[in-house]
Amino acid sequence: MAETTNPGSPDPVGEGPKAISIVQRGNLKSLEQTLRKQWRLGQNIVLCWSSDQRGLLVIFVPHYFLGNYCALSGSDEDRDNEAFIRELISGRRRKSREELFAVCERLDVAPTFIKLNTPVSEEPRVLDAVEQLIKRYGLSYVDSRAVLVFDIVEFSLYTPFEQASQLNSLSYSLNSAYNKMLARGIEINFARTTTGDGYYIWNRDLGPEANRDLFYFLVLVVADNTMARAASRGNTVPVIRTAYHIGGHYELYQAEGVNPTVFSYIVGDVTIELARMVDLAQANQILVGDFHCPPVSPRGAAYGRLPEITAPAFISACNRDLAALQGTQLSGKAITSLSCRLTASEGEDGKREPRRFRIVDKHGLSRHAYNLEITMDLEGKNLSLGLDVGRLPARQGGDESAAPAAQRIAPSADELIGDLASLLKKRTARSMTED
């Protein structure tokens, strides 16, 4: 599973006027050499660090340490341990000297001293470079980030050449969407890992605006793929199904030979939910998870700390700002208007509410999702993306137990056994139904 970066990834060291000095570059080189030696091909990981007059103090633990420390036995103490570790490996890893020794005391470990020729500079660029090195040899946790998955429908049924062509076509759509957004003044620092049948995509930047920009990225990728399919022959351009979700995950750098990779991988609740959602999605369908996230401010405005919003509210906020993509060129035609919405139906009170679908996976676990529809006008040509209401699963039938008692006949023993077998089978069967 390899990860690739977008065309505009910044150099952490840089060559511009604010580039890191030669002395500090020497510090970073010495630090990385020591970290690689202590890392021992992935045997140990770094948790956090603190500055010292003669170098750095770093906490190393074996790779299995965190799993043992957070092993759940149902006690409140174990849950506190997991919350403590998640907070420790979230965000910036630099701690004060007092904080670092407090962590050592709680984990019952000793810090490692790394000697450097000169103290680490307090310049933000130098500190950011140290943070990146520390994270590369450790494990990180992100509490809330938007991630999306593009899955190629019936990928395994194609020939190896067709599979390669389809992955290449989808990869081109990703890069094309990046360039189109950049031309509109929206830079998305996207990363991707292959799922085998497609890609997980996320924005390296965090926050409500980063989540919104990733949603716009989804819109342009799906549109580019649709236009490419219309102009293609054979099976060179894939039919895709897409899912978007916001949640938590761990981020790590796997070993590649004797060094950790320079690109990260993610795994956690958000990727698991996406995999289960897209597994039951239909061809061309776009699903949105049932999540809560910070509110998105209008482009150019700023909100203070506000309560989190639901997925339908998030999509509505994104829709209000979709005008930022108007003028984008697709197959030589400019987007003159576009809008998105979650498929809705009229409730008992007469109000239209988004239709929520319950997805049950092969393990019997369930989650909820919404169906996204996108409408786009390309200089008079209408383009509809996603599934329309006619192709969505219907609400499950009514309860037969509501029938009058006189109409109900007591089932036989064979019928009871048959019903029980059917029930057990249904409990493990994958399904998507309206909630």
Lowest pLDDT segment from 18-32, 251-265, 328-342: 251-265
Q: What pLDDT sits at residue 410?
A: 57
Q: What pLDDT sits at residue 84?
A: 92
How many domains are contained in the chain?
Answer: 2
The domain of 309 spans 143-391
For the CA atoms of 307, 311, 313, 316, the dihedral, rounded to the nearest 10 degrees, stands at: 140
Residues 196 and 309 in one domain: yes
Percent of the chain beyond pLDDT 70? Answer: 82
DSSP state of 35: H
Lowest pLDDT segment from 100-104, 153-157, 202-206, 261-265: 261-265
Q: What pLDDT sits at residue 263?
A: 74
Burial class (CB in 10 A: 0-12, 13-18, 19+), 82: middle
SS3 257: coil
pLDDT confidence band for 343 (50 / 70 / 90): very high
SS3 13: coil
Asked if residue 407 belongs to a domain, the reply is: no
- Give the domain-ending residue among 117, 137, 157: 137
Residues 387 and 312 in one domain: yes
> The domain spanning residue 318 has which CATH number?
3.30.70.1230
Q: Pick the closest to residue 147 from 365, 313, 303, 293 (CA basis).
A: 293
Asked if residue 51 belongs to a domain, the reply is: yes
Q: Pick the closest to residue 239 from 390, 385, 343 (CA basis).
A: 385
Residues 67 and 161 in one domain: no
Percent of the chain beyond pLDDT 90? Answer: 54
Residues 269 and 345 in one domain: yes
Mean pLDDT of 79-89: 89
Asked if residue 341 belongs to a domain, the reply is: yes
Q: What pLDDT sits at residue 11?
A: 47
Q: What pLDDT sits at residue 380?
A: 86
Q: What pLDDT sits at residue 402?
A: 38
* Residues 2-32: tens digit of each pLDDT: 444 454 444 445 444 467 889 889 989 999 9
> Which strands sit side by side in the sheet containing 44-52, from one edge to the other?
44-52, 55-62, 112-115
Residues 214 and 289 in one domain: yes
Residues 21 and 165 in one domain: no
Report the DSSP pairing between strands 240-252 and 286-289.
parallel
CB-based contacts of 167: which residues, under 8 Å, 6+ apart? Answer: 152, 194, 238
Asked if residue 418 belongs to a domain, the reply is: no
Which token pair is 339?
A: 């809008």
Residues 215 and 360 in one domain: yes
Mean pLDDT of 389-415: 56
Residues 178 and 318 in one domain: yes
